[in-house]
């Protein structure tokens, strides 16, 4: 199969916005969690890494392989995507970002039928409320919220894609967090109020990623509670 890595090849100019359809354009979106680097209980933030995937259809980018000479069109890396690709794409952002959002890698693939597959690897920090009343026997729900930027839910809808969502489970790598048990991930589509688009009654489509994680209490019990119990018992021995 022939592929073309688009360098110096311009796509059609789709500055007019999303493709025209009967109703909003549906974007399938998924998130694969590859790592949680740390949970800051005092600041109620957590650092994470993962792969964000999106898929949508745009007839304006369809092409004939017999005429072009290639079967797939690729835009790889920040330069090709930002400077060469000129088609429309749904820009999503981390709504509960906690000061850091780094795009590590990006790739966009277009098929002859006009199906577009977007993939980017991100490293970011997010804000999420923590409930510590039952510490160290607590269970937390860490939230990652991706919202579409600049278009309301009547124009663009994010639809969760279970096939590209989950936690990384490979032979050489699994999601492991010190002092915590293995996390479980789930996704859902939600609508959020828009405070910057025209019209107060408009809503934005968003992907809500929920990471359920349970603390391993033995770490705290072994390092804190057990020594305290021993010291108390030693004080009793004096009597």
Contacts 24+ apart (CB under 8 A), 81-87: 81/106, 81/107, 81/108, 84/6, 84/7, 84/8, 84/9, 84/10, 85/6, 85/11, 86/10, 86/11, 86/12, 86/13, 86/14, 86/15, 87/11, 87/12, 87/13, 87/14, 87/58, 87/60, 87/61, 87/116
pLDDT tens digits, 31-63: 999 999 999 999 999 999 999 999 999 999 999
Percent of the chain with pLDDT over 90: 66
pLDDT tens digits, 132-158: 999 888 999 999 999 999 999 999 999
DSSP strand pairing (166-167 vs 184-193): unpaired
pLDDT tens digits, 91-123: 999 999 998 899 999 999 999 999 999 999 999
Burial class of residue 207, CB neighbours in 10 A (0-12, 13-18, 19+): buried
Asked if 192 contacts 144 with a C-beta cutoff of 8 angstroms, the reply is no
Confidence band for 8, pLDDT divided at 50, 70 and 90? very low
pLDDT at 34: 95
Asked if 51 contacts 31 with a C-beta cutoff of 8 angstroms, the reply is yes
Confidence band for 11, pLDDT divided at 50, 70 and 90? very low
Query: Homologous superfamily of 3-237 in CATH?
Result: Neurotransmitter-gated ion-channel ligand-binding domain (2.70.170.10)
Burial class of residue 58, CB neighbours in 10 A (0-12, 13-18, 19+): buried
């Amino acid at each position: 199969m022939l592929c073309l890595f688009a360098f110096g090849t311009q796509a059609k100019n789709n500055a007019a916005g999303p493709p025209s359809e009967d109703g909003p354009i549906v974007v399938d979106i998924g998130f694969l969690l590859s790592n949680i680097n740390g949970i800051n209980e005092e600041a109620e933030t957590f650092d994470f890494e993962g792969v964000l995937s999106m898929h949508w259809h745009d007839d304006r980018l369809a092409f004939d392989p017999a005429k072009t000479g290639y079967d797939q069109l690729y835009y790889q890396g920040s330069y090709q995507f930002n400077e060469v690709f000129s088609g429309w794409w749904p820009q999503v952002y981390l709504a509960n970002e906690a000061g850091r959002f780094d795009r590590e890698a990006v790739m966009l693939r277009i098929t002859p039928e006009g199906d577009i597959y977007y993939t980017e690897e991100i490293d970011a920090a997010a804000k999420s409320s923590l409930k510590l009343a039952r510490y160290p026997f607590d269970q937390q729900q860490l939230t990652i919220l991706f919202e579409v930027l600049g278009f309301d839910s009547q124009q663009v809808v994010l639809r969760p894609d279970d096939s590209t969502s989950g936690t990384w489970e490979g032979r050489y790598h699994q999601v492991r967090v010190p002092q915590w048990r293995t996390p479980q991930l789930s996704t859902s589509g939600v609508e959020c109020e828009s405070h910057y688009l025209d019209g107060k009654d408009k809503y934005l489509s968003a992907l809500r990623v929920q990471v359920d994680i349970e603390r391993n209490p033995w770490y705290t019990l072994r390092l804190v509670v057990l020594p305290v119990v021993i010291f108390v018992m030693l004080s009793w021995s004096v009597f």
